[in-house]
Amino acid sequence: MRLQYRLVNVFTRHGEPLSGNPLCVFEDGNGLDAAQMQALARQFNLSETTFVLPCAQADARVRIFTPTYEMPFAGHPTLGTAHVVRSLVNCGDRVTLELPIGPIPLVAQGDQWELRANAGTTRAPRASHAEIAAALGLDQSDLAGAALWVDSGSEQLIVPLADEATVRRVRISIDALRHVTQDGPRAQVYVFSGSGGDTLCSRFFFSQGESVVEDPATGSATANLGGWFLANGVRLPTTRFISQGEMAGRPSRLRLRIDARRDVFVAGEVIELGRGYVEWSPP
């Protein structure tokens, strides 16, 4: 069995092909079971690998795997897979992908893709401000508001910080991060701050084994940031441009838009980098 795949970068910055967050998209996952998909994702060892499957209700059904587990939703895999599906099924600039959280509609203008996120739910973390600050290597005074768990498909802890310099100073303690996120699905945190006008800077950290990994660009957390803004009474409509990934060596640019109806949209540029195939002989 020959499995065709494409390598794309998502949330690239100003057309730079090696910016943004990398993704592997298998063009046809039909016939593969979950264990085989997981093994292939581990082989490529990117933050996510996706598999395109047939679907009667949408342009394609998609499954998303990290090297260690399957995800119900993630932003950059959804945008990157839509970019590939458009060329596979010739469906034009409007694509709907069926994910475990339900259908996600996307719209493209050239290589700029935008998804409409599911409505987010919010809840307060059990950890105190002081405990959260300590897990980030900061003082409590460095926090700029209430941290919230937000879930628009993948629940994450969203923490506002005082300024861009504070975002850059974050240093994660893995044990402390596990402690402050023990009431959530896994050890992960998204920090952000305004950096002037309608621009923000952000960083996202998650645990992988005994280590902390910094993600170059996190679309799901951007959607959850929209939920955080709504919970904090942001004036609508609003658009924010987000820089992420610089300190991870992969500068990225994301756009968050919330319309007057409180719908949240996440957008970014997708660049296809290459194609290949895997010769697969299942046991």
Which residues are known to be catalytic? Answer: 48
For residues 170 and 133, is the Cβ–Cβ distance under 8 A? no
Amino acid identity, position 29:
G
DSSP the chain: -EEEEEEEEEEESTT-TT-SEEEEEES--TT--HHHHHHHHHHH-SS-EEEEE--SSSSEEEEEE-SS-EES--HHHHHHHHHHHHHHHT-TTEEEEEETTEEEEEEEETTEEEEEPPPPEEE--SS-HHHHHHHTT--GGGB-S--EEEESSS-EEEEEBS-HHHHHH----HHHHHHHTTTSSSSEEEEEEE-STTEEEEEEEEEETTEEEEES--HHHHHHHHHHHHHTT--SSEEEEEEE-GGGT--EEEEEEE-TT--EEEEEEEEEEEEEEEE----
